[in-house]
Amino acid sequence: MPLLPAGKRVLVVLFVPSVERDGHAPVDQDRWVERALSLLGEVFGGATAYPKARGIWRDDERGGALILDEPVVVHVYTRAEVIEDTGNLARLAAFCRSMGRETNQGEIGLVIGDEYFAIQDYGEDVP
């Protein structure tokens, strides 16, 4: 009998912004954190949100303007077969696009495993 059960090895990290792309208008961050936790809990079995971090993002489409942000970092560990499931990926992608649109972002940051995804296309989701 193994000492520990098989582990979840794939890290998923989502950054929930605190301000819109202009760097001034606040977003309803608590709402988006709750929505992210719910989604990640449903899809991956749980998630943890860390208190506000300090960050900066360079908006190249606005002449390199630096946007100060206090994102909440939400993370979960999962198994490869769970994150590679097309239905799970579709739900996660749809959430990121929705958050990007509704919070007026230049980019939504998502990490899966050791890869960072800079989500910038917020086109409407197809059911």
What does the pLDDT look like over 43-98, one tens digit per residue? 999 999 999 999 999 999 999 999 999 999 999 999 999 999 999 999 999 999 99
pLDDT value at residue 127? 43
Compare 70 and 124 and report the one with higher pLDDT: 70
126 pLDDT more than 60: no
Coil, strand, or helix at residue 68? strand
On average, the pLDDT of the chain sits at: 94
2 pLDDT more than 90: no
pLDDT value at residue 1? 66
pLDDT value at residue 55? 96
Residues 6 or more apart in contact with residue 91 via CB below 8 angstroms: 39, 43
The CATH architecture assigned to 10-119 reads 2-Layer Sandwich (3.30)
d(CA 51, CA 46): 17
Q: Considering the entire predicted model, what is its pTM?
A: 0.91
Residue extents of the structural domains in the chain: 10-119
Contact yes or no for 74/14 (Cβ under 8 A):
yes
